[in-house]
């Protein structure tokens, strides 16, 4: 079996818990799965249990695994801000009859995809030696642009100690500063606790550079540069790479739909970047200059002749997680759809057999409810590298172990519906059920009064 050394700092995964209003409203422009499943019935209970099963499996492998809470939806304060007045039931009724698209936007469970919650830099990379968080402004889509305020509150509640953790405000929500968080940010390193390379991938940088013509480029260069400045990153260890506009137009709305990095490994599709050779050169040079014992970077490039961009978008091969359990081995955590796609599956078999990379095997998960909205394994998690002291400073109740998994599974079974269609979003009973569920959740996770309805 392929293996590597044991790491003192860990990379923890903070997975988003799917909220009680998980539904298919076709809200995400340029996200092929979201458009394809628009208006189909969803199953929120299965969705949350599928996510919890992945979390439990990773925790059982010895990974540091935690939970991020869902947001309050439908979000009545946002609907009121748009002029729908009266009691909650009246607000829902009016929004549904006058502007159903606005109601759908304010009822999305999109906060489950926590790879878009924030960009996080480990303390080893930051000038002040703290872990830095910048919540993403998610400026390109209305249903996501309402997330950052509550995301910031949740991050404060989970990472409270100012000696270890530094929280920035989201960037101003303008198209010039569109920021979608960690989905366009990869860290490469020789070991998690050592200073690493921070790789930012952007889709837009003004009109002068090539840009997509069909779909929006969600991540801007200006936002990534601002995040790097805020986090106090060493400029020599940051790199900004442009996504190929053509792949954005084929449904690669975030870089994590076409590339994933972990430790010294970068797995990516041949057509992911405008200039992959320049990127590889930079990584080689920057990693060689690392203060830690050298580890050569490993580039696992998948050729378009083997897996097309369309195959990648449909299977979410690159939206896999690359993880290292405590024994230092490396595994790919992939969506079941990868095994159902013959070209993708043979590419994975080849990759695992190839001794030039450390990937020891593939672990498959059924995440169909999230996948139908364009969210694979990697979308569902926010990675946070933590040393021992930082790990001890995290709100202890969010760590997922067997007990919390059991508690949350029972909680979901009690509160979540097993079928939801768009008309249900106007049902005042759904709002009450969701609030009841979230109220109990804040107690289970020790989060205090996180939600507007609790304040």
Residues at the site binding ligand SUG, with contacts judged by CB under 6 A: 24-28, 31, 34, 108, 110, 113, 115-116, 144, 183, 253-254, 256-257, 373-375, 379
Chain-centroid distance, C-alpha 31: 15
Q: What separation in angstroms does the CA of 371 have from each of 54, 123, 156, 219, 314?
A: 13, 32, 29, 21, 9
CA distance 32 to 425: 23
Please pick, among 141, 239, 254, 405, the residue that the annotation labels catalytic.
Answer: 254
Q: Which is nearer to ligand SUG, 32 or 302 (CB)?
A: 32
Closest contact distance (angstroms) between CB of 207 and ligand SUG is 24
Name 228's Cβ contacts closer than 8 Å, sequence gap at least 6.
198, 200, 235, 238
Closest contact distance (angstroms) between CB of 24 and ligand SUG is 5
Closest contact distance (angstroms) between CB of 238 and ligand SUG is 20
Is 379 catalytic? The answer is yes
Closest contact distance (angstroms) between CB of 257 and ligand SUG is 6
Q: Are 141 and 187 in contact (CB under 8 A)?
A: no
Q: Which is nearer to ligand SUG, 31 or 242 (CB)?
A: 31
Q: Which is nearer to ligand SUG, 130 or 372 (CB)?
A: 372
**Token duo for residue 394:** 């995290």
Q: Are 260 and 318 in contact (CB under 8 A)?
A: yes
Is 338 catalytic? The answer is no
Closest contact distance (angstroms) between CB of 284 and ligand SUG is 27
Q: Which is nearer to ligand SUG, 404 or 425 (CB)?
A: 425
Is 126 catalytic? The answer is no
Closest contact distance (angstroms) between CB of 222 and ligand SUG is 20
Q: What is the largest CA-CA distance in the chain?
A: 64
Closest contact distance (angstroms) between CB of 38 and ligand SUG is 7
Closest contact distance (angstroms) between CB of 180 and ligand SUG is 7
Q: What separation in angstroms does the CA of 155 have from each of 62, 114, 161, 178?
A: 23, 11, 11, 20
> Torsion over CA of 139, 141, 142 and 143, rounded to 10 degrees?
-120
Q: Which is nearer to ligand SUG, 139 or 286 (CB)?
A: 139
Q: Are 231 and 171 in contact (CB under 8 A)?
A: no
DSSP secondary-structure letter at 294?
P
> Which helix or strand (DSSP H or E) is residue 435 part of?
helix 428-444
Can you give the three-state secondary structure of 349-409, one letter per residue?
Answer: HHHHHCCCCCEEEEEEECCHHHHCCCCCCCCCEEEEEECHHHHHCCCHHHECCHHHHHHHH
Runs of H (alpha helix) within 187-319? 221-230, 245-248, 276-288, 309-315
DSSP secondary-structure letter at 182?
G
CA distance 109 to 127: 35
Closest contact distance (angstroms) between CB of 312 and ligand SUG is 12
Residue whose C-alpha is closest to residue 186's, from 76, 84, 301, 265: 265
Please pick, among 189, 324, 338, 379, the residue that the annotation labels catalytic.
Answer: 379
Please pick, among 147, 180, 337, 390, the residue that the annotation labels catalytic.
Answer: 180
Q: Which is nearer to ligand SUG, 173 or 360 (CB)?
A: 173
CA distance 385 to 387: 7
Q: Which is nearer to ligand SUG, 109 or 330 (CB)?
A: 109
Beta bridge partners of 321: 333
Q: Which is nearer to ligand SUG, 23 or 387 (CB)?
A: 23
Q: Which is nearer to ligand SUG, 9 or 55 (CB)?
A: 55
Positions marked catalytic: 180, 254, 379
């Amino acid at each position: 079996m392929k293996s590597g050394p044991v790491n003192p700092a860990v990379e923890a995964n903070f997975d988003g818990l799917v909220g009680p209003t998980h539904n298919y409203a076709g809200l995400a422009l340029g996200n092929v799965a979201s458009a394809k499943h628009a208006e189909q019935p969803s199953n929120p209970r299965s969705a949350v249990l599928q996510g919890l099963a992945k979390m439990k499996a990773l925790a059982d492998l010895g990974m540091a695994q935690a939970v991020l809470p869902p947001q309050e939806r439908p979000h009545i304060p946002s609907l009121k801000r748009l002029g729908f007045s009266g009691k909650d039931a009246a607000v829902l009724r009016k929004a549904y009859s006058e502007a159903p698209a606005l109601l759908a936007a304010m009822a999305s469970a999109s906060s489950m995809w926590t790879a878009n919650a924030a960009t996080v830099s480990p303390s080893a990379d930051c000038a002040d030696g703290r872990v830095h968080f910048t919540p993403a402004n998610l400026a390109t889509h209305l249903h996501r642009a309402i997330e950052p305020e509550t995301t910031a509150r949740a991050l404060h509640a989970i990472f409270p100690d100012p000696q270890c953790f530094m929280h920035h405000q989201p960037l101003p929500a303008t198209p010039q500063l569109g920021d979608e968080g960690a989905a366009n940010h990869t860290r490469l390193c020789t070991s998690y606790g050592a200073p690493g390379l921070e790789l930012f991938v952007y889709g837009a940088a003004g009109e002068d550079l090539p840009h997509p013509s069909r779909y929006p480029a969600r991540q801007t260069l200006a936002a990534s540069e601002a995040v790097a400045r805020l986090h106090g990153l060493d400029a020599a260890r940051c790199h900004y790479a442009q996504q190929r506009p053509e792949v954005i137009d084929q449904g690669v709305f975030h870089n994590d739909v076409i590339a994933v990095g972990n430790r010294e490994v970068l797995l990516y599709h041949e057509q992911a970047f405008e200039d992959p050779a320049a990127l590889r050169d930079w990584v080689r040079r920057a990693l060689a200059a690392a203060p830690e014992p050298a580890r050569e970077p490993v580039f696992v490039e998948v050729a378009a002749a083997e897996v097309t961009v369309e195959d990648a978008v449909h299977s979410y091969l690159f939206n896999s997680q690359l993880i290292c359990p405590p024994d230092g081995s490396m595994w790919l955590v992939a969506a079941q759809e990868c095994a159902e796609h013959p070209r993708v599956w043979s590419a994975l078999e080849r990759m695992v057999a190839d001794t030039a990379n450390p990937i020891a095997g593939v672990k498959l998960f059924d995440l169909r409810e999230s996948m139908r909205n364009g969210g694979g394994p990697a979308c569902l998690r926010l990675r946070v590298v933590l040393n021992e002291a930082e790990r001890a400073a995290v709100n202890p109740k969010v760590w997922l172990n067997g007990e919390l998994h059991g508690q949350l599974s029972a909680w979901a079974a009690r509160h979540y519906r097993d079928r939801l269609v768009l008309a249900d979003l106007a049902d005042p009973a759904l709002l009450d059920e969701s609030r009841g569920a979230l109220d109990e959740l804040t107690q289970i996770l020790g989060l205090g009064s996180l939600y507007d309805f609790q304040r």
